[in-house]
Structure 1
Amino acid sequence: MRNKKALGAGVLALALVSGVGWAQAAESGAEAKPKAAPAAAAAVEGYQVVKLPNANVPNFQRRTVYCPAGKVVIGGGAEAQGNDAILVGSFPTDDGRGWVGLGRQNMYSTVGISVYAICAFA
């Protein structure tokens, strides 16, 4: 591994986001300089993040946030909040219009859940 420079997590993440694979960056033998993604590819028509703010709900109860009319979910996430909160699930709705989050806490009967949907025009 002499003469090879280590890639930091930030560089790796940027490489993966911009389409430069880990193998490509590591095999070049030179310091990795990820290419920026083309501006046209980065623009998504109608891009919008919709948030369902944190609320305490019973353990394992699903919380769902939906995209506005005419938009579909293209990504999303959820956050479990509490002393020993565990995020159990984070996934799109079956109809592709929203995002679901659910969690639990070991020592409590409720958990704080926030849900985010990344929406765009279909």
Structure 2
Amino acid sequence: MRSKKSLFLSVAALATAASVTATVVALQGASPVSAASRQAALPPGYQLVTLPNANVPNFQRRTLYCPGSKHVLGGGGEARGNGAILVGSFPTDDARGWIVLGRQIGYNDVGISVFAICAD
């Protein structure tokens, strides 16, 4: 049996998800949305930052930091090459950047790209 607290959290999560879904549907709906409306939906100081593909030894971390005093909201990465596998993709401990690592089967190195979504 669920406790009242977990039930409340589940209901709150559903309400938040419904609100986010409604916002996304409104922004992506059939009617044209102005660039100003889309910009207003982004968090203050929003910036997508990338660290282009580079070959690094297998399992070596590549870290991308947000510029200035911005913090990371999310991120990801890509492992490139024959048999390349993305092994890890996660934020830095201080929430200022994103870390990605991978490996490539049969090779000593792997191509890794890193992406971070930053905001104030």
Q: Same fold (TM over 0.5)?
A: yes
Q: 2:25 aligns with which of 27, 31, 35?
A: 35
Between the two proteins, what is the percent identity of the paired residues?
Answer: 66
Corresponding position of 2:83: 84
Structure with the largest fraction of helix: 2
- Counterpart code for 2:25: K
Report the Cα distance in structure 1 between the residues aligned to 2:105 and 2:50, rounded to whole angstroms.
Answer: 26
Are 2:100 and 1:101 aligned?
Answer: yes
Aligned residue pair count: 93
What is aligned with 1:69?
A: 68
Cα displacement (A) at 1:84 = 0.8
Selected match of 1:19 from 5, 14, 21 = 21
Q: Is the 8 A contact 1:90 1:99 kept in 2?
A: yes
Which residue number corresponds to residue 9 of structure 1? none
| Structure 2 residue runs without a partner (length 5+) | 1-16, 28-36
Cα deviation, residue 19, structure 1: 1.5
Q: Using the alignment, how far apart are the partners of 1:99 and 1:17 within structure 2?
A: 27
| 1:18–1:36 Cα contact (<8 Å) kept | no
The two structures have a TM-score, normalised by structure 1, of 0.69
| Aligned partner of residue 19 in structure 1, secondary structure | helix
User: For the aligned residues, what is the CA RMSD?
Assistant: 2.4
Superposition deviation, residue 35 in structure 1? 3.5
**Which secondary structure state, in structure 2, belongs to the residue aligned with residue 100 of structure 1?**
strand
Aligned residues of 1:63 and 1:115 also touching (Cα < 8 A): yes
TM-score between the two structures when normalised by the length of structure 2: 0.70
Post-superposition CA distance 1:72-122 (Å, at most 9, x none) = 00011100000110000001001000000000011101000000111000x
